[in-house]
C-alpha cells in the first residue's frame, strides 16, 4: 500500500525525535505488506473512525487512515506510551 507524502508537521516531528531512519524502514515494510508482523498494524477504537496505527519502534506509532483511492495518509506520529 502506498503512503502519501508526509505533511511538514509530521516530518518535523520525525526529525526532532531522530526517527527519520526508523520511519524509512517502517514505511518500506508497510508499503510491501501492511500486515508485516513487526509493524503491529491495528484498527484503533472506536472502529467507525477508520483510524489505524503501525509501529515505528517500541515507543512511537504512526496514525493513518486509508483514502478512497486506497492509499495511506499519515495523520500523526505519536508517543505510544504518553501519559
Contact 59, 79 (CB under 8 A): yes
Question: Into how many domains does the chain fold?
Answer: 1
Residue 80 has a pLDDT of 76
For the full predicted model, state whether its pTM sits above 0.85: yes
Task: Give the domain extent around 49.
Answer: 8-79
Check pLDDT > 80 for residue 82: no
CATH assignment at residue 72: 3.30.2310.20
19 falls within a domain:
yes
How does pLDDT run across 20-49, given as a tens digit for each residue? 999 999 999 999 999 999 999 999 999 999
1 falls within a domain:
no
26 falls within a domain:
yes
32 falls within a domain:
yes
C-alpha 6/C-alpha 26 separation (Å) is: 14
3 falls within a domain:
no
Amino acid at each position: 500500500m502506498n503512503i502519501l507524502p508526509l505533511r511538514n508537521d509530521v516530518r518535523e516531528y520525525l526529525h526532532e525525535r531522530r526517527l527519520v531512519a526508523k520511519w524509512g524502514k517502517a514505511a518500506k515494510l508497510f508499503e510491501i505488506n501492511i500486515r508485516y508482523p513487526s509493524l503491529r498494524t491495528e484498527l484503533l477504537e472506536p472502529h467507525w473512525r477508520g483510524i489505524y496505527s503501525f509501529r515505528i519502534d517500541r515507543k512511537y506509532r504512526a496514525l493513518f487512515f486509508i483514502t478512497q483511492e486506497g492509499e495511506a495518509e499519515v495523520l500523526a506520529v505519536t508517543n505510544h506510551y504518553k501519559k
